[in-house]
Amino acid sequence: MTTSETTDEQVTAKTSVADLQQMATKLRENIQRVIVGKSDAIDLAVLALLCKGHVLLEDVPGIGKTTLAKALAQSLGCEFRRIQFTPDLTPTDVLGVNFYNQKSGEFEFREGPVFTQVLLADEINRATPRTQAALLEAMQERQATIDGETRRLEEPFVVMATQNPVELEGTFPLPEAQLDRFMVRVRLGYPSAEEEAAIYQRSGQGRLDVAVKGVTTSNEVVRLQALAPEVRVNEAVRTYITNVVRATRESDSISLGASPRAGLALYKMSQARAAINGRDYVKPDDVKALAAPVLAHRMVLGPTARLRGRTTTEVVAEVLTKVSVPIEG
C-alpha cells in the first residue's frame, strides 16, 4: 500500500468519525430537551442504533423509559409505533394478519405494528412466551414471516423494549435466546437531586411535553450505520475483548456466560463509542465502559451466586479486574 493510499484511508476514517460524533451530539442534545441529564443512558441507546442493535430499557416505573424511546424516534425522523404488551396479546397483534376482503374477493395483508422503524415494546415481559417469540425473527433478520410469506422490514429498524425488574407477578421472564438479541441493556436510574428539581421546574413551565423535532433522516441513519465498522480495532484490543467474553464463561458464579454474539456486540459497540468520542481507533477503556451494559443481561447466575444475592453486573466488574488490559501505544 502506498503512502498516498494510506493517507486517503486516514482522511476517510477521520471524516467518518466526525460525521458519527456530530450525529451523536445532535441526538443527545435533542433528546435532552425532554429528558433531564442521563447522558450515559442516551449515549448507549444511540450507540446501539449506530450498530443496528436493539435496546432493553430495564428500570422501575416513572423513570422515563418510554419518553426516551419516543424522543429517540422523533429525533431520527423515523416512523414510530408502540405495542403495549399484555398477557392476551397474540403474535398476529404484533406481526399482522391475512384477512379475506369480501369486496375484492381476495386475501389482503394487514400490517402489524412491527412494520415500522422504531418499535417500542412496552412491558415486553407481560406477554406470553409465544408472543414474545414473534419478535425474534424481526430482531435478528429484519424480516417477518406470516403464513409462509417473508416480508422485509424497513431500515433502520430498532426495537426498544421496556420491562420493570421489580414487579414480577403476572410476567413471563424473557428467555436467554431473546435477551441475547438485545445489544445493550440500559438502566436510567433515579435522577440526582438537581436533576429532579429541574424536572419539576420544566413540568411547571410545560416543557416536559414538548414535541421533539427530527434532527436527521432515516437515510442518513442508514449511511452512518455503515460508517461505524470503519473504526480500527487492533489485535491487542481484539484479544482483550475475546478474553473478557471467555472469562464470563469460566466464572464460578455463572452457569451461562456471554455468547459469541455478545462478544460481537461488544466489538461493534466499542467501535461506535470510539467514534462518538472523536477517535478512529478503539481503546481498552471503550471495552471496559461497555462490558456491563452489553454482557450482563445475557449471562445467567449459578444457584450459589443467586443465593448470595450476587448480580451479573458484579460478575462482569469482577472479570474486568482479572483480565489483563493491553498497554496502549
CA–CA gap between residue 82 and residue 323 (Å, rounded)? 41
Let me know whether 142 and 178 are in one domain: yes
- Classify burial at 127, counting beta carbons within 10 Å of its beta carbon; exposed 0-12, middle 13-18, buried 19 or more: buried
Torsion angle of alpha carbons 227, 187, 119, 133, nearest 10°? 110
pLDDT of residue 8: 46
Same domain, yes or no: 220 and 276:
no
pLDDT tier at 53 (50, 70, 90 boundaries)?
Answer: very high
Closest CA to 195 of 70, 55, 39: 39
Residue 170 one-letter amino acid: G
- pLDDT the model gives residue 317: 95
Q: Could you tell me the residue range of the domain that residue 270 belongs to?
A: 232-329
Same domain, 170 and 250: no
What CA–CA distance (Å, rounded) separates 30 from 41? Answer: 14
Residue 11: is its pLDDT beyond 70? no
The number of distinct structural domains making up the chain is 2
Q: Which of 263, 241, 252 is nearest to 301 (CA)?
A: 252
Same domain, 167 and 94: yes
Q: In whole angstroms, what is the distance from residue 270 CA to residue 244 CA?
A: 13
Residue with the three cell numbers 448480580: 311
220-248 mean pLDDT: 93
Is the domain of 82 the same as that of 8? yes
Tell me, what CATH number does 29's domain have?
3.40.50.300
CATH, residue 247: 1.10.8.80
Whether residue 236 sits in one domain with residue 170: no
The pLDDT value recorded for residue 249 is 93
Residue with cell 415494546: 121
Whether 156 and 247 share a structural domain: no
Residue 12 confidence (pLDDT): 59
Q: Which of 202, 230, 258 is the last residue of a domain?
A: 230
pLDDT digits (tens, 9 = 90+) for 280-293: 999 999 999 999 99
Q: What is the DSSP string of 223-275?
A: HHHTTGGGSB--HHHHHHHHHHHHHHHH-TTEEE---HHHHHHHHHHHHHHHH
**Predicted structure pTM score:** 0.87
More confident position, 208 or 176? 176
Answer yes or no: do 40 and 148 share one domain.
Answer: yes
Which of residues 181, 202, 230 is at a domain's end? 230
Same domain, 191 and 281: no
Q: Is residue 56 within 8 Å of 293, Cβ to Cβ? A: no
Listed residues 198, 230, 262: the one ending a domain: 230
Q: What is the mean pLDDT of the chain?
A: 87
Pair (67, 209) in one structural domain: yes
Strands 158-163 and 118-122: parallel
